[in-house]
Chains A and B, each alone.
Chain A
Amino acid sequence: MKQSKDPFEAALEEQEESPPDSPVGEDELNSQTPNEPQNQTNGGHNLLVDDDDYDNIGPNIKNPSHPSSSSTPKLHSTSVNANVATRATTKNKEYEDEEEEENVEVELSKFPSSADPAKMAKMQAILSQFTENQMSRYESFRRSALQRSNMRRLLVSITGSQKISLPMTIVVCGIAKMFVGELVEKARIVMTERKESGPIRPCHIREAYRRLKLEGKVPKRSVQRLFR
């Protein structure tokens, strides 16, 4: 399969009409020039908080017309052709990246129990109304992920043990990504409090970090960090 799309999103596409036009591939964000520092925290926040199952609702924005434009290693080479109503997330991509490189086509006929047509429908309704800006941001949100290999290396160096299982890297990458989300969202809140706009500055992040620490969301070191 030459597709450049997320396998689970491919499954979703089977079930619905033609996807809205996609702005750009996700790694071309740098070339994008949207200039509304639109504060997306509302939309983004809802999606983030809605952690219950909203399967398979990847943005169906991939342009099937450029299969090889996905030159980034992030885009997977496997495609799951199916009635799989599971969630399309960025973790899938990296996972298939690292595991098997060849094209794997899998038929799954069962729907996981997390499939919830009502939630899916709601999600679809929301997604269909996204502006281009919002859609691109959502796409970035879904597709971005920390690199598993880097994470594994980091964990190995911290724990000193080579036995870092794959689920562990996946979990830690997920946790770290959500932590970034918390930081950025809090920083945006700080910015609106100070009535500032534009790109987030380090001082906002530091204030956000301070607040997260007060809330207890950051693990505290029992011993102070002496050397960096």
Chain B
Amino acid sequence: MINPSTGPSSKAKVQHMMYGFGDDPNPLPETVTLVEEIVVEYVTDLAHKAQDIGSKRGKLSVEDFLFLIRKDLPKLNRCTELLSMQEELKQARKAFEVDEDKLATLE
């Protein structure tokens, strides 16, 4: 499958990921390629389904993806965790910027 969006380093990332999940430290290249293909297909199908759902509401949103994985508890939990962490980081950054401004004005 032609996938223009995977860059040169994506294979390395997938390799490390596979090792982390239980494969050999040096996974077979064919396996890595196959996994990458499968993942792209998975994301494609998922996105299409999300789009179908999202089109009813207007535009595509994160909720649509969350709806799709609602049955898969580990994934759902992980996603909510990621989202809340991202919120936190955003808040943290905002807080920092405010401080920096104050410092700038003081000097």
Contact = CB atoms under 8 A, between A and B. Distances in A.
Contact of A145 (B13, B46, B62, B85): B13
Interface string B34-61: 1100111011111111010000000111
Contacts of B83: 167, 170-171
A178 B30 contact: no
> What is the interface of chain A mostly: helix, strand, loop, or mixed?
helix
Contacts of A143: 16, 20
A206 B35 CA distance: 9
Contact of B19 (A89, A137, A159, A206): A137
- Size bracket, chain B contacts: 35 or more
B5 interface: yes
B106 interface: no
Interface in A83-140: 84, 86-87, 89, 91-92, 95-96, 99-100, 104-106, 108, 112, 114, 137-140
Nearest to B19: A140
B43 A154 contact: yes
B16 A176 contact: no
Interface residues of A, number: 93
Nearest to B89: A95
A30 B26 contact: yes
Given A170-B82, A199-B24, A218-B42, A178 B74 contact: yes
Contacts of B95: 106, 108
B69 to A, nearest CB: 6
The 5 A-B residue pairs whose C-beta atoms are closest, nearest first, are A141-B20, A140-B20, A199-B24, A144-B17, A184-B21
6 contacts: A84-B92, A153-B4, A163-B59, A174-B75, A175-B79, A177-B17
Interface of A: 26-27, 29-30, 32-34, 37, 39-41, 44, 48-49, 51-53, 80, 84, 86-87, 89, 91-92, 95-96, 99-100, 104-106, 108, 112, 114, 137-147, 149-151, 153-155, 157-159, 161, 163-168, 170-172, 174-181, 183-185, 187-188, 198-202, 204-206, 209, 216-221, 228
